[in-house]
A = this chain, B = another copy of it.
Amino acid sequence: MKIGFIGLGIMGSRMAANLQKAGHELVVHNRTKAKADDLVTGGAVWAGTPAAVAGQVELLFTVLAHPEAVQAAALGEQGFLDSLPERALWVDCSTVNPSFSRRMAGEAAKRGLRFVDAPVAGTKQPAEKGELLFLAGGDEADVDACRPYFDVMGRAVVHLGRQGMGTSMKMVVNLMLAEAMIAFSEALALGESLGIPRELLLESIPGSAVAAPFLSGKKVKIEQNDFEADFPLQWIYKDLQLVATTAYEQGVPLVVGNAAKEVYALAKRDGLGEADFSAVYRLLSGQSK
């Protein structure tokens, strides 16, 4: 059985490669064809449109940048939803907002298709090493059907409930991720301004009780002033926009989360959008100009 895979960016390309390495035959599509080259060399079939992928598979993974991209691939011209065979399973690993996931679930259901939302926790390296964590929402049987593939691409899957609950948990996780990165950057900027050597701060804060563990991985970037993107700043900005929309829909006030969103907005406008999101440190320490 062939597997469809749409979206071959930083995350998708590595996830698809792991499926291929495990022996699965892939039918792939990406907006920019060049990103599919390695997979095609490895035996994957290229499809010129989302619909063309859909015609050849009963299981389809999508790993796209934002809800608009998912919407276009699913429902736009040559979208895949109308071409998937009945009872096919669409697994959306994109980071989107829960109400969008539920809408996609509805569109799938209308067509007799099955849907699982399964965004991932983890960035470039975990994607490469097959160590992602899948946060899944959907019917138990459908999630179970995904497990063999999740096992190849990740280290674990958490089934959080009905459709939309995977992306719900993803909102929660990325809100914390975004705020923790800024907390650390503000703390560094303040500490340095007071004369504490940056090396001392980078040595003592990550690993301490007040620092989220992922910050240990970011300290190297700051130390070396090398902000090549594992997770681009414009993505976390986008995710916070999805979080803000979700919070609005749910009527939950997020004073600090929205403040964090605007700090990333400032950083993006200062030209840091394609850098790693830890580059927000550059804005906060006055080095973004």
A32 contacts partner chain B, Cβ-Cβ < 8 Å = no
Judge whether B255 and A200 touch: CB under 8 Å.
no
With A210-B173, A210-B212 as contacts: A262 and B251 at CB distance below 8 Å: no
Residues of B within 8 A of A255 (CB): 255, 259, 262-263, 266
Chain A 101-121 interface 0/1 with B at a Cβ cutoff of 8 Å (1 = within): 000000000000000000001
- Label chain A's interface by main secondary structure: helix
Closest Cβ neighbor of A183 among chain B residues: B179
Chain A 163-184 interface 0/1 with B at a Cβ cutoff of 8 Å (1 = within): 0110011011101110110111
A175 to B265, CA, bound (A): 18
Judge whether A256 and B265 touch: CB under 8 Å.
no
With A246-B194, A258-B259, A265-B247 as contacts: A252 and B189 at CB distance below 8 Å: yes
Within 8 A of B (CB), among A159-218: 160-161, 164-165, 168-169, 171-173, 175-177, 179-180, 182-184, 186-191, 193-196, 200-201, 204-205, 208-214
Residues of B within 8 A of A208 (CB): 121, 173, 213
Chain A 232-246 interface 0/1 with B at a Cβ cutoff of 8 Å (1 = within): 000001000101111
A130 contacts partner chain B, Cβ-Cβ < 8 Å = no
A257 contacts partner chain B, Cβ-Cβ < 8 Å = yes
Residues of B within 8 A of A213 (CB): 208-211, 213
A165 contacts which of B161, B180, B194, B263 (Cβ < 8 Å)? B194
